[in-house]
Chain A
């Protein structure tokens, strides 16, 4: 089955810098890769996703890239702000099971 690994587990950046979080997956049949943001004490919320037929997707300050050959995908946040501080989860969906497989999360801290 699918296995998703996420790095780093914690990330601290200065406000205005960029942040990059990386995930790898094991199932070459996986075709959907969402990223969720979870603020402290709140529910995870989808911030961006990408499908396997696309190499990159952008939405304002956030972007996701996918390398199918290497089986990894990354979240890029530019011009970070204190409100970007949260835990970010990547996930993969392989189609052979009916559910998402989540990474263990990255705690991002943006220092003013």
Chain B
């Protein structure tokens, strides 16, 4: 299961705190994505980046921020403005959509719990 990693596996946060989730890939993929997974809600896109130093908001970006300073890394910060952050967070990477193989490869996920 190498290729794309996330850390930590479990994360506990007190209300009012910002936390940063790590996502690293060595697949040489240009595109990276962050999804939030809640029971019965499927995978909802938070942010995505198709190239270094560029990223776009997904469907549920409020209360989250990202950076893409390196091709291999796409960290997600969950800010105190996110009202209900308890969820399972999945990072994915791919060749940019529409340029060949469109498969997205997922990391193992981070389960965030707000105490």
Contact = CB atoms under 8 A, between A and B. Distances in A.
Interface residues of B, number: 25
A25 interface: no
B43 to A, nearest CB: 4
A102 interface: yes
Contacts, number: 55
Contact of B106 (A44, A49, A95): A44
Contacts of B75: none
Contact of A89 (B40, B42, B58): B42
Interface string A74-112: 000000000000000100010100111111110000000
A100 B59 CA distance: 12
A86 to B, nearest CB: 14
B97 A93 contact: yes
Given A43-B109, A95-B98, A104 B104 contact: no
Interface of A: 6, 9, 32, 34, 42-46, 49, 89, 93, 95, 98-105
Contact of B41 (A49, A93, A100, A104): A104
Contact of A100 (B40, B90, B97): B97
Contacts of A93: 97-98, 102
Contacts of B45: 99, 101
